[in-house]
Amino acid sequence: MKIGLLPALLLLATALHAQTKPTTPVPKPDLVAANTVEARVQQYYADLTQRLRAIYEAPGDGRAISLLSTATEEFGARRKALRLELAHLQPTLPAAERQALLKRLQQGPWRQEQQAILQTPAAAKIPDRTVRNPALETALQRFNDARLAELLPADAATR
């Protein structure tokens, strides 16, 4: 059986096409790192929000003081590590990607969640509890002074 040249080439091209695997674009390493850091930042804020809720809803001042102290240490260390990671990542990103990442990090849904926690009846009782218990006031002041909700340095948005 004789096959013409054009049909033979078509058969060969079809067979070769069937054997080749479709290629998916490989993301750039710096963008993969940015996505990874962004996921860790989101987890940081989710955990911080959960801890805030637990602090305000703590049944006793002793428990609230314990939660405040451990949160200040734990989230302080996590914040420091994330800031360092962001400082190393930012120079590797193109300017547009860097600005987009910083914007996403600053405008996450955790802001609204944290504000909602601060509006709860349990949070409204904290000032009265701190007046009655100076140790709670001190722990809360240290927690607030740590500024754990401010992950990015003030000058990060201007880079």
Give long-range contacts, CB 8 A cutoff, 24+ apart: 34-37: 34/89, 34/93, 34/97, 34/101, 37/82, 37/85, 37/86, 37/89, 37/101
**Does the pLDDT of residue 46 top 90, yes or no?**
yes
pLDDT value for 100: 87
Predicted local distance difference test score (pLDDT) of residue 33: 73
Q: Given this model, what pLDDT does residue 31 score?
A: 66
The predicted structure's pLDDT at residue 98? 87
Tokens representing 142 are: 């240290």
Angle at which helices 61-89 and 29-56 cross, to 10°: 170
Q: Once rounded to an integer, what is the mean pLDDT over residues 49-68?
A: 96
pLDDT of residue 157: 45
Q: Tell me: the pLDDT tens digits for 76-106?
A: 999 999 999 999 888 888 899 888 888 888 8
Stretch (H or E) spanning 44? helix 29-56
Reference 112, options 38, 35, 46, 41; nearest CA is 46
Instruction: Decide if pLDDT at 6 tops 60.
Output: no
Task: Name residue 14's amino acid.
Answer: T
Average pLDDT of the chain, as a whole number: 83
pLDDT beyond 80 at 28: no
Domain ranges of the chain: 27-149
4-8, 80-84, 98-102, 155-159: the lowest-pLDDT one:
155-159
Report the amino acid identity of residue 151. L
